[in-house]
Amino acid sequence: QITLKESGPTLVKPTQTLTLTCTFSGFSLSTSGVGVGWIRQPPGKALEWLALIYWDDDKRYSPSLKSRLTITKDTSKNQVVLTMTNMDPVDTATYYCAHMTVGTIFGVVSFDLFDYWGQGTLVTVSS
């Protein structure tokens, strides 16, 4: 059974750095064809993909937020960490992590599907 849970601060001040941890079970991030991604959702708004990391430590970032994001994994702890610098009130959102099933063709990633999601954690940015 695959489960994921996000943890981190519920309140951060503008300009601070946000660090979120996704702790998962039921799979290993060292297994080929597996990844973990982060998605956020401002209150009442749509989903926005942020970043993802694959089993081989390859990473992808949203172009609009790339300069502010860093994603890392700790396979031994079954955790993925997302950091976002220079937080602003517009970054107030529920942040989700999700398990990805990754498909490859001739060793190149062809797709990555968010198939299991954590419950999300609400982060408010306010002074």
Please report, as ranges, the residues that interact with another protein according to CB under 8 A. 37, 39, 46-49, 52, 60, 62-63, 96, 110-120
Rounded Cα–Cα distance for residues 102 and 53 (Å): 11
Closer by beta carbon to another protein, 16 or else 70: 70
C-alpha separations of 55 from 7, 15, 17, 32 in Å = 21, 31, 26, 6
How many Cα neighbours within 13 Å face the side chain of 95?
A: 25
Nearer to another protein, 19 or 49 (CB): 49
CB of 76 to another protein, least distance (A): 26
- Our CB check for another protein shows the closer of 36 and 120 to be 120
